Amino acid sequence: MKKARGLSERASDIVLVAITAVVLIIVAYPLYYVLIASVSDPYDVYAGKTFLFPSGFTLDGYAAVFQDPNIVSGFLNSVKYTVIGTVFSVTMLYITAYPMAQRDLPGRKFLSIFFLITMYFGGGLVPTYLVVKSTGLVGSMWSLFLPGGVAVGNMILVRNYFQNNIPKDLIEAARVDGCSKLGIFLRIVIPLSKPILAVMAVFSMVAYWNDWFTALIYLGGKGSPLPLVMRNILIKSSASASQAATISGGYAELNKLTELLKFCSMIVAAVPMLVVYPFVQKHFEKGFMAGAVKG
Amino acid sequence: MKQHWKRGLAASLTAVLLVSGLSGCSSGLVNNVNTGEINPNTEQTEFNIMGGISALSSGYENNEVLNALQENVGIKINWETMSDSLAEQVNIRITGGQYPDAFMGVGFSNYDLARYGDDGTFLDLTPYLTEDIMPNLCAILEEHPEIRAAITQEDGKIYGLPSGEQMTTAGIGADLDDAYSIYTIPQFSMINKAWLDELGLPVPTTLDELHDALKAFQENDMSHTYYGNAAGSTIPMSTGFDQWCWGQNIFYSGFGFTNWPNDVCNDLHLKSDGTVEFVCVSDAYRDCMDYFHTWFSEGLMDVEMFSQSDSQLMAKCQQGYVGVSTWWYIDELMGEYADDYVFLPPLSGPKGTQYEDVCEITIRPGSPITSGQLCITGKCQSPINLLKFFDQWYDGETMMQLHYGPIGVYFTGQDENDMWMSITDEEAKEKYGKSAGELRNQYETYGPKLILAEYYRDVFYMEPNAINRLTWLAEDWMPYVKDTSVYPVDCTFTSMEMETLDWHKPDFETAVREQEGLWLKNGGQGGGPITDEEWEEYKQFLVQKCGMDDLLQVYQAAYDRYTGAES
């Protein structure tokens, strides 16, 4: 049923649409720019010749990326690490944040500080490596998940969500009805906290998808995830360019490919995330601010 | 109660810090293997070596040259190689005490060598440098005492085998004794001759003439009028700022110096009387800054010169925007416009000043001889076996194959002078389906490669591009070099001196560089020339905050020792 709309309402619609359109352009243009840059002559890109359309269309960059024999295994590894890592991280968040949300937890104050300290102080690369090594995890994929398993900042968000957004009366009622403590967690708390679950899933998904440094340090070149594979492609390309630069010449051409690869690898790395994102996004908008109130 | 708890936490944290700090030092106390005596053990025949590799290499396991060398001395090497983040991974392994029998192609600094030598991580190789164990290397050291001097630490010990590349004009027929390194003058300036002709201007020989030419490029918008690019796209002159082969430094020649980025220390200059100075506090330098600031403020120098990357410079040049720039090869920088450009010779100073007719290029040293490319660790049971393997590297033909590729693959045969000839691009494409460069990348090994200048004369030919560059260097640029004294890159420093350098050099170089940029961009106070107060303040800052005098003292002392040792 259509309602008669006043002039002011229509005017405000126009303004709102205009504002969102501007915001959309601001957000989408950089992505679009990288996309057209990835198929343009890089020197044209630097000379400012690609504004709306590619200049000097080329697929050399993508050819170089997809010719690499490790790209498929890198992709599969990344998917594996992201799925396992996300499930693991979210589980860890829930089983730490839920107890921390109980006001009658013994030693709660001490535990909060204990967690908090790790947010501000780290051991540094070498000591962390030594710890991971002495636990025998070096070379195993678990070295990617276990050392940073609980993201404390996220844990605090989840804890706050539990405290503020799950009605105590509901839990009380469940208990009166004879539900066990585990039952309350599984049947009441988890279903009620789906928005924050989605947020946490996206946070850790993105983190695991983009992480290459941990893999570089602990995996020792075996089972490299996608970003590491692409980094190697880029390094190879720039290595051959710089070798040409010193003596043999031909730097300009090889350097072109290196610059092109930078844009291509951004696109290749970002597309899978862009595809997955909309599926989680509907939960996301509800949950994003939900746990943000601290206290 | 609460207070106590906090104090307890603080105390325990402090304790943790202390303990970790102490354990960090204690590694210096473990068994030091460097007693100056030889380890006669020859039982170990399988070695683990960790180190760097070219990102383009196909691996050392299947490298026929390396495998043949191993067979010759009856050892087997297990390689653990990586092409990037090498330093982090090596540090982690050394700190964790889990290191291999040797590190190859890591490139340890002298500072690292001294430190790891002191605590026994690295083996002192001095007792092993004998005719029996290392005949090839000993012969070279005999003939080149300067190489031995360069790899010997202050305590008289040698913790690594020498490496270095002496690509010099000896390769194009110069006498060994007055050959110049390919790195002697890193920037070749070039100018668009077609634009000059169009405007009826001669190729400039002085800075004033170049100024007028740039002004004419700008006013006539040559990129627009001559190449049909967008209006206003002309950049009269574009370079990097203090960059290696694409900087602005060559244009300073009109003020009697060129302050190249330098392996020893930027702006350090050795005068012909054997004393060292910093050009960045000379009056000529001050006048130079004032002079080029006027160029910058007139828009003759690219406003992006301080921030652009070499790719960005190349992009501009290949669009035909740029009138004057610097690089090694014209065609590489200018792309399809290359035919319009010619080399712009070094220019003399502005008329009516004391710099009229001044045109001097100060030269850079060649690449150094270092000893951080092969270090044997205390874990190695039979250093003799491993060193016999590496002694083979010090033979011209073997080295050549390690650097480029095997005879029969990369090297196709010898000509009438017994010089090895390398495969051409066409042959390589036909036989292996890749360019000669790619073929070389596949085989190149990183390690203690000592490429002596005489190899290019006696063993194999240089690449054609290197020959071109050396020819230009010798014919077009060296004539402008009046004083060939240069601070030797092989000077060694005591550990005290290294501490001083480590402490002050980065600050000093950064401060000078930043101020140089500011002066070029903004000029002195209010955009005018640098005032006397500003100049004094700058010099005081360098002395008081950046240890300039200490640095000078260190460099002078090290140089005096160096010349004392040579004579």
Structural element, H or E, at residue B323: strand B322-327
* Higher-confidence position of B255 and A4: B255
Alpha-carbon distance of B506 to B546, in angstroms, equals 9
Per the CB < 8 Å rule, is A130 touching B95? yes
The residue to which tokens 């490596």 are assigned: A129
Alpha-carbon distance of B562 to A17, in angstroms, equals 75
Task: Give chain A's contact residues with B (Cβ, < 8 Å).
Answer: 42-47, 49, 125-127, 129-130, 133, 216-217, 221, 232, 235-236, 239-240, 243-245, 247-252, 255, 258-259
Q: What is the pTM of this model?
A: 0.83
Q: Say what the pLDDT of residue A249 is.
A: 58
- Three-state DSSP class for residue B413: strand
Cβ contacts (< 8 Å) between A235 and chain B: which residues?
55, 83-84
pLDDT reading at B32 higher than 90: no
Q: What is the DSSP letter of B334?
A: H
For residue range A196-214, what is the model confidence (pLDDT) as tens digits?
898 899 889 999 999 988 9
Contact criterion met (CB below 8 Å) for B28 and B422: no
Band (B22; pLDDT cuts 50, 70, 90): very low
Alpha-carbon distance of B253 to B249, in angstroms, equals 8
Mean pLDDT of B412-441: 87
Name the amino acid, one letter, at B12.
S
Tokens of B342: 């010619």
Minimal Cβ distance to A126: which of B55, B91, B312:
B91
Q: Say what the pLDDT of residue B114 is.
A: 87
Minimal Cβ distance to B312: which of A46, A235, A239:
A46
For residue range B319-361, what is the model confidence (pLDDT) as tens digits?
999 999 999 889 889 989 999 999 999 999 999 999 999 999 9
pLDDT reading at A259 higher than 80: yes
Per the CB < 8 Å rule, is A244 touching B96? no
* Higher-confidence position of B365 and B225: B225
Phi, then psi, of A237 in degrees rounded to 5: -65, -45
Contact criterion met (CB below 8 Å) for A198 and A285: no
Complete DSSP assignment for chain A:
-PPP--HHHHHHHHHHHHHHHHHHHHHHHHHHHHHHHTTS-HHHHHTT--SSS-SS---HHHHHHHHSTTHHHHHHHHHHHHHHHHHHHHHHHHHHHHHHH-TT-TTHHHHHHHHHHHHH----HHHHHHHHHHTT-TTSTHHHHSTT-S-HHHHHHHHHHHHHHS-HHHHHHHHHTT--HHHIIIIIIHHHTHHHHHHHHHHHHHHHHH--HHHHHHSTTSS--HHHHHHHHHHHHHHHHHHIIIII--HHHHHHHHHHHHHHHHHHHHHHHHHHHHHHHHHHHHHTTTT----
Q: Say what the pLDDT of residue A1 is.
A: 46
Best to test chain A binding among B314, B329, B472 (most A CBs inside 10 Å): B314
In a 13 Å sphere around the CA of A148, the CA atoms on its Cβ side amount to: 22
Band (B19; pLDDT cuts 50, 70, 90): very low
Structural element, H or E, at residue B46: strand B46-52
**Least confidently predicted of A5-14, B154-163, B247-256:** A5-14
Q: Say what the pLDDT of residue B242 is.
A: 93
Cβ contacts (< 8 Å) between B95 and chain A: which residues?
126, 130
Band (B33; pLDDT cuts 50, 70, 90): low
Minimal Cβ distance to B96: which of A49, A133, A221:
A133
Per the CB < 8 Å rule, is B437 touching A259? no
Cβ contacts (< 8 Å) between B91 and chain A: which residues?
126
Inform me whether the C-beta atom of residue B463 falls under 8 Å from chain A C-beta atoms: yes
Q: Say what the pLDDT of residue B222 is.
A: 96
Q: Say what the pLDDT of residue B7 is.
A: 47
Q: Say what the pLDDT of residue B111 is.
A: 84
Contact criterion met (CB below 8 Å) for A81 and A144: yes
- Three-state DSSP class for residue B19: helix
pLDDT reading at A221 higher than 80: no
Per the CB < 8 Å rule, is A43 touching B311? yes
For residue range B186-200, what is the model confidence (pLDDT) as tens digits?
999 999 999 999 999
pLDDT reading at B160 higher than 60: yes
Cβ contacts (< 8 Å) between B437 and chain A: which residues?
240, 243-244, 248, 250
Alpha-carbon distance of B115 to B121, in angstroms, equals 9
Alpha-carbon distance of B451 to B400, in angstroms, equals 8
Q: Which chain B residue shows the shortest CA-CA distance from A234?
A: B55
* Higher-confidence position of B423 and B71: B71
Cβ contacts (< 8 Å) between A221 and chain B: which residues?
82
Give the C-alpha distances (Å, rounded to integers) separating A220 from A33, A133, A269, B89, B352: 35, 12, 22, 10, 65
Cβ contacts (< 8 Å) between B96 and chain A: which residues?
126, 129-130, 133
Q: Could you give the percent of chain B with pLDDT greater than 90?
A: 68
- Three-state DSSP class for residue B206: strand
For residue range B491-534, what is the model confidence (pLDDT) as tens digits?
888 888 998 998 999 999 999 999 999 999 999 988 889 999 99
pLDDT reading at B21 higher than 70: no
Alpha-carbon distance of A71 to A230, in angstroms, equals 8
pLDDT reading at A220 higher than 60: yes
Name the amino acid, one letter, at B313.
L
- Angle formed at CA A260 by CA A256 and CA A263, multiple of 5 degrees: 155
Predicted interface score ipTM higher than 0.90:
no
Residues in Cβ contact with A3 at an 8 Å cutoff, skipping those fewer than 6 apart: none
Q: Which of B513, B522, B530 is nearest to B290 (CA)?
A: B530
Q: Say what the pLDDT of residue B106 is.
A: 93
* Higher-confidence position of B1 and A222: A222
Mean pLDDT of B42-61: 90
* Higher-confidence position of B2 and B482: B482
Q: Say what the pLDDT of residue A103 is.
A: 87
Smallest Cα distance from B322 to chain A, Å? 12
Contact criterion met (CB below 8 Å) for B455 and B396: yes
